[in-house]
Each structure stands twice: as structure tokens, then as C-alpha cells.
Amino acid sequence: MNLYERIPNNVNLSEDKKLQRALEKWLPNYLDWWQQMGPDGFQQKDVYLRTAISVEPDGWANFDFVKMPDYRWGIFLKPAQPDAKIGFGDNYGQPAYQEVPGEFRNSLRRIIVTQGDTEPASVEQQRELGKTCPSLYDLRNLFQVNVEEGRHLWAMVYLLQRYFGRDGRDEADALLERRSGNPDKPRILEAFNQPCDDWLNFFCFTMFTDRDGKYQLSALAESGFEPLARTCQFMLTEEAHHMFVGDTGLNRVVKRTAQLMREGDVRELGGIPLDIIQKHINFWFSYSLDLFGGEISSNSADFFAAGLKGRYKEQEQYEDHIVAEQNFMMKVVEEEQLKDREVAMRNALNEVLRTEYVRDCEKGLARWNKTLADEGISERLFLPGSRFHRHVGEYAGHHFDIEGNLISAEEFEQRKAEWLPTIADREYVRSLMHPVVEPGKIANWIAPPATGIKGKPFEFEYVRL
């Protein structure tokens, strides 16, 4: 097999015998994993997909019909900048790391493995969704997201195999062994073990959980370990579409719900009531907030000091890249009360990144609320307070209402059905999920998209069944 011909890349794979050998061993296992855990029931169908073929801004992707197992998962890094420097932390201004610095080897490997683990996890979570797609357009978008998450796994595996020797190869194998939601060998992060088995969950996942990915990748795109920075910079190009799928998907659900609200009872008319949409927002937003890690974190301080993980738009947004003196005020729970606490800024960087993320999510909410207003509906959707329903960090183990006020465990238990999807809510949503696969047709609970893909109309046959 001429590996480097099958794998589009700009990492000089044809010259790198060691990497070729590692990939040759890994590739059949990856393809097995894809067959077992990738989209169920559609492996032999032609799908109109985008494939990354270069890193040129104006011609990086090719659109054509492909069967998913034949997708050309490639390895692309943004081109290197001559004289790249470490952009923050204790070694600010020194030459960027081109190889893994020994003292940061474990931290870096952990960062890469944690990111890498999310990529196949999401494919596993979404593997049954194709069977209930609301349209061929949506089906194609699902598969686009899936193959690109597969490519992101490749991107992380490349870093592990190329820069971490034996342990890197073992970690690359382990990435194909864990399984989302499996109690014995779960994925590393909890949001990636939650079932994502209907399309409302899928749109929330791509809106909120993929958006966490954007912020993590952005922070790693600043990394002083240059191969990681350049890999993440290119992944962000693809990630934008995933969030588009979630953001516009939810907007279309909201639009349809609003139309049905004007006509009568949304449930009777077969739509998704606004309160169920709100509960799904609450669920996925809170789980996604957990992905940023603890509010007070010595890891975040260490990663920043070492120049491994920066802040969002570190170079563009900030002047002080050392951040040795600044402090950050946050709320913590002390003696069953919320109190202000000042912590060193470097220890608060998870919270700083989370705050950027929340601001970005708010823009989505504003778009959906505009849709409600345009449809003449006075109700509004909102983001829960960021202490609500948390399982990681300062607020884990305490209970908060939807606005973030501290409440008792009993009160939370009594009111949680108001805030989070109940089994009945989930069953109701699932009862609406019937496949619509005729070109140009759409399920009743969602509005069609404003435009199609790559200049094609909505009626285009995006997947040939």
C-alpha cells in the first residue's frame, strides 16, 4: 500500500519512514473502528462531502460524492512560521518548541490525548442518528461532522506517533479502544459519554459541545509546542462548520416551533415545545461548561507557565503575556454560602476561557430569540447561570437553581424536572424522530435551511440512498 498517496498530507509523510510504519499499523485498526462505531447503516452510500486537500485558504477543500470508508482522512498543519516564538508564560519570547521538551512531556501528552479522545467519542455518540434524519441535507451534515471528527483524531494521532515515541503509539491505540458511554472503558470526559440519540441532542451537542472544542483548540493553537499549534489552527477551519450545523439547526427547530405556536398546540401539531428546547439547552450547556475544567486550577497555571496552552486569541487580545501579577475575582462556595474569592490569574485561566465561551454562546441565543421575535412570539430562550448543574470544579457537589443561586439538594430534586429533560421529554422528542429522505422534503418539527451546501439547493440529493 502506498500510504502517503492515500493520505493527503503536508507533513512530508513520504520521507518519514518511522511515521509511515506507525500509521500503517494504526490505519487498519482505525478503519475497523470506523466500520464498527461510525455511522450505522450508511457506509456504502455516496455522500456529498467536503475533503481537506491542502491548507491554502482559498482552495483547502474539495466537494464530491464519497463513500465514508473511502474518505481521505489527511494530516494537515498550518504552514510553519519562520522564527516562531513562545507567545506567553515563563519562557515568553524564546524560540518555540519544535520537539517535545522533556520536562513537559507528560503534560503535553495528556493535553493531546484528552483532546484526541473527544474526536472518536462524538462519532460514537452520533452513530445511530442517520436512521432518523429530518432531511437529506441534515443527513449529509451529520456525516460531514463525523468524517471530520475522524480526521481530527488523525491529527492528534499524528502528533502522538510523530513526537512521543512508544508511549505515543500506545496512546494512539488506546484512542480506538475506549468507547463512549461504556462503563468499563469510557471516554475521558463526561460530556462525551452522554447519549446523543436524537437530533435535538445532536444540534445542542454541535452548538455547545463542539464550541467547547473551538475554545480548547484556540487555546492550543497558541501553544509554544509548534506542531500542536499548527495542527489546531487547521482543525479550527473545519470546526466552524460543526458549530454552524448546531447553531442553525437549533435556529430551524426554534423557527418551526414558533410557527406551530401560532397555529395551536405545538405538541398536538407534532413540534418540539419551547420548554423542551430550553431544557436541552440547559443540559448541554452545563455539561459543556464542565469541559473547561475547575475554576481554580493549578494545571491551567502550569500549562500557561510552560507555554503549552494559552488564552483565547492570546496574541490578538492581550498585552501582558506573562500574567504573573494579575488576580481574578470569582465566586466560590464556603460554609454553604457563595463568597467572593480572589485567585491568581494564572490559576483562573480555565474560568477565563469559559467566560469567552459563554459570551460566544450568548450570540447563538440572541439569534434564536430574534427568530422568535420575527415570528411574533414573545417567549425567549436563555442560557442557565454557569453554576447550574455542574459536575466539575468549584460548584460540583452543590446545588444551584437555573439562575445560579445556591439551593438545597431537596429543592434541586423537586425542581429539576423544570430545568432538565425528563425521561418523558426525551421520549416525546424521540417519538418525533422519523427519517425523511426524499430530496427536498423536511420533517415537520424543523424548518428547512435558508441555503444548501456549496451553492447547491436544499432539494439537492446530498446522500444517495
Which residues lie near Fe ion (CB under 5 A)? 119, 149, 152, 210, 239, 242
Q: Pairing between strand 406-407 and 399-400? A: antiparallel
Residues 448 and 135: beta-carbon distance below 8 Å: yes
Q: Residue 425 is placed in which grid cell?
A: 421529554
Q: Which is nearer to Fe ion, 239 or 290 (CB)?
A: 239
b/e burial code for range 73-94 (CB count within 10 A of at least 16 → b)? bbbbbbeeeeeeebbbbebeee
Residues 123 and 146: beta-carbon distance below 8 Å: yes
Q: Which is nearer to Fe ion, 242 or 389 (CB)?
A: 242
Shortest spacing between CB 141 and Fe ion, in angstroms = 12
Report the sign of the C-alpha dihedral through residues 297, 185, 110, 230, in that order: negative
Q: Which is nearer to Fe ion, 210 or 226 (CB)?
A: 210
C-alpha pair distances (Å), 104 with each of 155, 286, 305, 350: 20, 31, 11, 19
272 Cβ partners below 8 Å, 6+ apart?
Answer: 200, 253, 256, 257, 266, 429, 432, 445
- Helix locations, 1-135, DSSP H: 3-6, 17-37, 105-125
- Quick one: how far is CA 134 from the chain centroid? 22
b/e burial code for range 14-30 (CB count within 10 A of at least 16 → b)? eebeebbebbeebbeeb
Shortest spacing between CB 144 and Fe ion, in angstroms = 10
- Cα 147 from Cα 61, distance rounded (Å): 13
Q: Which is nearer to Fe ion, 210 or 295 (CB)?
A: 210
Shortest spacing between CB 260 and Fe ion, in angstroms = 30
Q: Which is nearer to Fe ion, 119 or 124 (CB)?
A: 119
Q: Which is nearer to Fe ion, 242 or 346 (CB)?
A: 242
- Give the closest residue to 286 by CA, choosing from 402, 182, 394, 197: 402
- Cα 175 from Cα 119, distance rounded (Å): 9
Q: Which is nearer to Fe ion, 192 or 445 (CB)?
A: 192
Shortest spacing between CB 122 and Fe ion, in angstroms = 7
Residue with cell 463513500: 67
Q: Which is nearer to Fe ion, 105 or 110 (CB)?
A: 110
Q: Which is nearer to Fe ion, 88 or 208 (CB)?
A: 208
Shortest spacing between CB 156 and Fe ion, in angstroms = 9
Would you call 121 helix, strand, or coil by DSSP? helix
Letter for the amino acid at 282? N
Residues 86 and 93: beta-carbon distance below 8 Å: yes
Q: Which is nearer to Fe ion, 206 or 347 (CB)?
A: 206
Shortest spacing between CB 213 and Fe ion, in angstroms = 5
Shortest spacing between CB 66 and Fe ion, in angstroms = 19
Shortest spacing between CB 149 and Fe ion, in angstroms = 5
Q: Which is nearer to Fe ion, 242 or 426 (CB)?
A: 242
Q: Residue 393 is placed in which grid cell?
A: 470544579
Shortest spacing between CB 159 and Fe ion, in angstroms = 14
Shortest spacing between CB 115 and Fe ion, in angstroms = 8
Would you call 405 helix, strand, or coil by DSSP? coil
Shortest spacing between CB 292 and Fe ion, in angstroms = 16
Letter for the amino acid at 248? T
- Cα 213 from Cα 240, distance rounded (Å): 10
- Cα 206 from Cα 122, distance rounded (Å): 10
Q: Which is nearer to Fe ion, 275 or 360 (CB)?
A: 360
- Cα 433 from Cα 443, distance rounded (Å): 8
- Helix locations, 264-391, DSSP H: 274-290, 298-305, 314-317, 349-374
Shortest spacing between CB 160 and Fe ion, in angstroms = 16
